[in-house]
């Protein structure tokens, strides 16, 4: 199949050494942008102040902004995915590859043409906001069906990787060549492990509804907000339960490159682990056809996962940083100062 060449290439990208020790974020971004034609660059590069920077989503989009995978040659794809790998952990980079590959599963399940944009592994885009620089503020996004990462950088330091969304449909592949594939296995497994470790009295605090909501509650909003913080507090868990809680939290935080993940975790700890809450809604039995939802919420973060669609075999998960989504105030202030000195 024509689309399969993408994944042969992706397997090669995984081997690329993108540790960042000798390549700055800006250098890697410029490498990709400089590989583009003038026409391609006009699609890929937007002003930093563009409203498009906040226009993110995780559903299939026909006319997605940015430069699409399908419009890149092999050299350009190599540079693009080398950049993405620089920002993500190896585990999360692998998940993005596997999620893109699930488009082929959906093509087959839904009897769609391989060229149908709605389920197409070529319909993922790279888009940049501001010119990449080691001294200025700029950002970029990688996005397509069930993937959206919004990165913001200042002075060659990653200050934000959120909103950060990963989803999977099917959550567990039930047939075909990828049968048994479960891209977000740890997210699901550890969520259930924590919920099922709770006593009846603890569950009375953790359970916020018998029915799971239809989707993540923060949706694709510009500002993440869940007005009523609910669930059981980290401080109300025993040591073994706290260990599972931190393992679950780490799965999401460690989607990012280590230094950034460490910084993100330090902010959560400084705000107080005891202020984190775990909430659950829907089925307490893990099985296809049994919808469920959970979230972790605290002073600096909201993490959500739902598995409700397609007979509860379709997962959405998101990380929202309440201080630094889209770079937060720090990025805007830096950008304004940088341009005022021009």
Q: What is the pLDDT of residues 32-55, one digit of tens each?
A: 999 999 999 999 999 998 999 999
**Can you give 92-106 as a three-state secondary structure string?**
HHHHHHHHHHHHHHH
Q: What is the pLDDT of residues 318-327, one digit of tens each?
A: 999 999 999 8
Cα end-to-end span (Å), the chain: 51
Say whether 66 sits in a helix, a strand or coil.
coil
Domain ranges of the chain: 2-161, 185-323
Question: Whole-number mean pLDDT of the chain?
Answer: 91
For 227-272, the DSSP string reads SS--SEEGGGS-HHHHHHHHHHHHHHHTTB-HHHHHHHHHHHHHH-
Q: Nearest CA to 303 among 264, 260, 270?
A: 264
Query: Residue range 285-296: average pLDDT?
Result: 97
Q: What is the pLDDT of residues 109-122, one digit of tens each?
A: 999 998 899 999 99
**Rounded distance, CA 210 to CA 158, Å?**
39
**Can you give 23-41 as a three-state secondary structure string?**
CCHHHHHHHHHHCCCHHHH
């Amino acid at each position: 199949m024509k689309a399969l060449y993408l994944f042969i290439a992706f397997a090669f990208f995984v081997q690329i050494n993108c540790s960042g020790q000798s390549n700055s974020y800006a250098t890697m971004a410029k490498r990709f942008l400089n590989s583009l034609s003038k026409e391609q660059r006009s699609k890929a590069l937007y002003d930093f102040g563009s409203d498009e920077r906040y226009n993110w989503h995780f559903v299939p989009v026909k006319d997605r902004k940015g430069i699409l995978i399908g419009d890149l040659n092999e050299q350009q794809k190599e540079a693009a995915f080398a950049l993405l790998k620089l920002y993500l952990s190896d585990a999360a980079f692998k998940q993005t590859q596997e999620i893109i590959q699930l488009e082929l599963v959906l093509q087959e399940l839904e009897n769609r043409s391989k060229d149908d944009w709605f389920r197409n592994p070529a319909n993922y885009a790279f888009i940049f906001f501001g010119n990449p620089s080691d001294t200025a503020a700029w950002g970029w996004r990688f996005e397509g069906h069930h993937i959206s990462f919004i990165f913001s950088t200042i002075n060659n330091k990653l200050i934000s990787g959120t909103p950060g969304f990963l989803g999977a449909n099917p959550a567990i592949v039930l047939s075909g060549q990828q049968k048994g594939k479960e891209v977000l296995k740890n997210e699901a497994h550890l969520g259930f492990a924590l919920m099922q470790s709770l006593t009846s009295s603890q569950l009375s605090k953790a359970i916020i509804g018998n029915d799971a909501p239809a989707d993540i509650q923060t949706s694709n909003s510009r500002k993440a907000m869940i007005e009523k913080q609910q669930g059981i507090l980290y401080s109300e868990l025993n040591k073994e339960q706290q260990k599972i809680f931190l393992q679950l939290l780490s799965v999401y935080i460690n989607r990012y490159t280590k230094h950034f993940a460490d910084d993100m975790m330090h902010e959560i700890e400084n705000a107080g682990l005891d202020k984190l809450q775990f909430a659950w809604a829907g089925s307490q039995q893990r099985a296809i056809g049994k919808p469920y939802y959970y979230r972790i919420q605290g002073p600096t973060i909201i993490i959500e996962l739902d598995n409700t669609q397609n007979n509860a075999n379709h997962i959405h998960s998101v990380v929202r940083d309440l201080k630094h989504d889209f770079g937060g105030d720090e990025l805007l202030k830096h950008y304004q100062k940088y341009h005022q000195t021009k």
